[in-house]
C-alpha cells in the first residue's frame, strides 16, 4: 500500500524535532503498513499543492490521498533561475524593502481579494476531489483555516472556509507549539482521527 500526503507546514511536520518519524502522515502510514509519500512543504500555497497533485503525482498509484489546503492568500510563481517560488503574506509584511518585496506587498494589500483566495481554494478543492474520484482513490481533504491563522488576520480576511472539509488540523483540540503547528501529541491525535475517517471510506 502507498499513501500520498500533500499540504503546507502542518502536513510537513514543522516544529517537530523529528518530523519524518513523528508527523501524522508517518503515523497513519505505519498503522496500515503503507509506504508514506509526503510532498508537503513549508509555506505551500493551494496553487502549489494543486500543481503537485495534478501534474507531479500519479494519484492512480495510491491507496489513499490526504491533502491539506492552506491559507488562500498564499501563491507561487515561476522564477526562470530558481524554479517555483512561494509567496506568503508573512514573508512580505514588515520585511526589508526591495523590488521583490515591494511588488508582492502591493499585490497582497491592493490587488489580492478574499474572493480571489476563496475561488482559488475552491478550484483546488474541486479539482483534487474530482481527480481522486476519477481514479477511485479514497481522499481525505483537510484545512487549517482557523482564528489562529495570523496571515489572514493581517489582511483582515475571513478565517473560516465555506467548503466542507473532513478535518480541521487547526482545531484547538490539537496541542500545538508556539508557532501554532501541532505538537507530537497533536500529530498522534490527528493520525487517530484520520484513521477513523479512512476506515469509514473503505
Residue 6 has pLDDT above 50, yes or no: yes
pLDDT in tens, 100-137: 788 888 888 889 888 899 999 999 999 999 999 999 99
Between the ranges 10-14, 78-82, 89-93, 178-182, where is the mean pLDDT highest? Answer: 10-14
Identify whether the C-beta of residue 135 lies closer than 8 Å to the C-beta of residue 64: no
Q: State yes or no: pLDDT of 36 exceeds 50.
A: yes
Q: pTM of the prediction?
A: 0.90
- pLDDT greater than 60 at residue 195: yes
Ranges of beta strands (E only) in 59-117 are: 64-68, 75-79, 83-87
Share of the chain above pLDDT 70, in %: 90
What is the residue-averaged pLDDT of the chain?
89
Q: Which domain holds residue 174?
A: 2-201
pLDDT reported for residue 90: 65
Q: What pLDDT score does 146 carry?
A: 64
Q: How confident is the model at residue 147 (pLDDT cuts 50, 70, 90)?
A: very low
**Count of structural domains, the chain:** 1
Query: What torsion do the CA atoms of 82, 74, 137, 160 make, to the nearest 10 degrees?
Result: 170
Identify which of 118, 167, 164, 171 has the alpha carbon closest to the alpha carbon of residue 148: 171
Task: Decide if pLDDT at 99 tops 90.
Answer: no
pLDDT score of 95: 65
Q: Which residue has the higher pLDDT, 78 or 64?
A: 64
pLDDT band at 79 (very low <50, low <70, confident <90, very high): confident
How are the residues of the chain apportioned to helix, strand and coil, as percentages rounded to the nearest 5? 45, 15, 40
pLDDT value of position 73:
87
CATH number at residue 107: 3.40.50.1110
Here the cell at position 66 is 490526504
Q: What pLDDT does residue 53 have? A: 97
Amino acid at each position: 500500500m502507498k499513501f500520498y500526503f500533500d499540504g503546507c507546514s502542518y502536513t510537513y511536520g514543522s516544529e517537530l524535532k523529528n518530523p519524518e518519524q513523528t508527523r501524522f502522515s508517518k503515523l497513519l502510514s505505519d498503522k496500515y503498513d503503507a509506504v508514506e509519500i509526503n510532498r508537503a512543504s513549508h509555506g505551500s500555497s493551494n496553487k502549489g499543492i494543486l500543481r503537485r497533485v495534478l501534474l507531479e503525482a500519479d494519484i492512480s498509484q495510491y491507496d489513499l490521498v490526504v491533502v491539506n489546503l492552506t491559507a488562500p492568500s498564499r501563491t507561487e510563481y515561476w522564477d526562470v533561475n530558481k524554479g517555483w517560488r512561494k509567496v506568503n503574506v508573512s514573508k512580505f509584511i514588515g520585511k526589508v524593502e526591495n523590488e521583490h518585496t515591494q511588488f508582492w506587498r502591493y499585490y497582497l494589500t491592493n490587488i489580492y481579494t478574499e474572493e480571489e483566495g476563496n475561488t482559488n481554494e475552491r478550484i483546488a478543492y474541486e479539482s483534487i476531489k474530482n481527480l481522486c474520484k476519477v481514479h477511485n482513490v479514497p481522499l481525505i481533504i483537510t484545512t487549517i483555516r482557523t482564528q489562529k491563522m495570523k496571515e489572514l488576520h493581517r489582511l483582515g480576511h475571513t478565517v473560516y472556509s465555506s467548503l466542507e472539509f473532513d478535518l480541521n488540523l487547526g482545531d484547538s483540540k490539537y496541542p500545538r507549539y508556539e508557532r501554532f503547528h501541532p505538537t507530537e501529541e497533536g500529530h498522534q491525535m490527528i493520525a487517530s482521527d484520520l484513521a477513523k475517517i479512512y476506515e469509514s471510506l473503505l
